[in-house]
Structure formats: C-alpha cells, structure tokens
Amino acid sequence: MPSANLSKASLHFLGNSRDLPEPFIFQFNPESMTRVQSYSEKNKKITETIRLRLIFNIMHGLSDNNPQAIEHGIYPLLAALEEYVAEQDKLIRLPGILGRLGPKLQRVMVLSYGERSIPVRIVRLNIKELVHNAQLTPLHATADLSLRVLGESELSGNPQGKAALENYRKYRKTSANSLTSLIHL
C-alpha cells in the first residue's frame, strides 16, 4: 500500500512570474539516479552531472478515469518535459524595481528530490516510446535526463538560484558530517 507521505520528485523554475511554466512533477519517482562529479585539470573545477531515468505509463491516468489520458495517452507529459528544455533558455526579470531597471537574467531550473533542491540545466533528454495503441499514441515510455548542476558563476546574478546552490551544498555537507553517527550505530 503506498504511503500518504510519498514525496514526488519534480523540476520547476525559480521565481514568481506568471510567465513561468507549471512545475513538472514526475508521474513516478525516477527509476534510477546517477550523480557524476568530474574534475577538470584545465579549469581546476569540479562539475556535477545528474542522470535520471523516468518512467511514464498510461495506467496511472486510466485509474483516475481521465478522459485526456484515454485520448492522448502519455504524450502531453512527454511534450511538457520537452518544453522544459526550451523554457530554460528564456530570460526573466527580477520582481520589483530591480527587475524593471536591471538586465534580464537566465531562468534557473531546480530539481527537487526529497530534501534536495538542486539548480540544474537539462543538457540531454532522450525519450523512448515503448508501447503505443492502434492510433500510435504513446502509452508507455522512458525518458533519460542528463542534468548539469549550475555553478556559482552561472548563478551570480540570480539570488534565488545562488541560495538554492548554497542550500544544496550545505545539505550535502551536513549529511556528510552525520556519517560518523551512522558508523557508530
């Protein structure tokens, strides 16, 4: 029996603009998550990449007797995910007087995953439609997402994005520091 407290992972853009797309809440939590840290000798920087495998299935929509799910299958979900790739390149203004006077800023996307909120950029999306109905409407698919964690220089002009990165790093450090208590259980 599913827990009522089940958290769902999602992608969303920071800000309070009416122009922002709705959060993309994953239909199911990712099948897998891989985090890769790479060190560049040339730049002397560590970059972090997150890879997720998402599963989409029509059975979820059918159980709710959703007429859109019956007619369009999971295609609206796949299309919304594809639109998120395009939306990340749009520029926004900060709210208030600073926004009206200052330069436009790059939108900041955040991956919310449990207690982690990580500023990211989608660098690759690979959708594989696996099952279709007679009208070739997708009913089951997987999506492999590659996300790059944004760095300080990319977030320097966006206070919300910078705060999200700092909070993610603090959470990771706090979690690492709690390791000693886990070892001594």
For residue range 7-66, list pLDDT tens digits in order: 789 999 987 667 778 889 888 888 889 999 999 898 888 899 999 999 998 886 666 666
pTM of the model: 0.81
28: nearest Cα among 2, 51, 48, 49: 2
**Residues 6 or more apart in contact with residue 4 via CB below 8 angstroms:** none
Neighbours of 74 (CB within 10 A): 23
123 three-class SS: strand
In tens, the pLDDT along 146-172 reads: 999 999 888 887 888 899 999 999 999
Strands (E), 14-85: 24-25, 32-40, 45-57
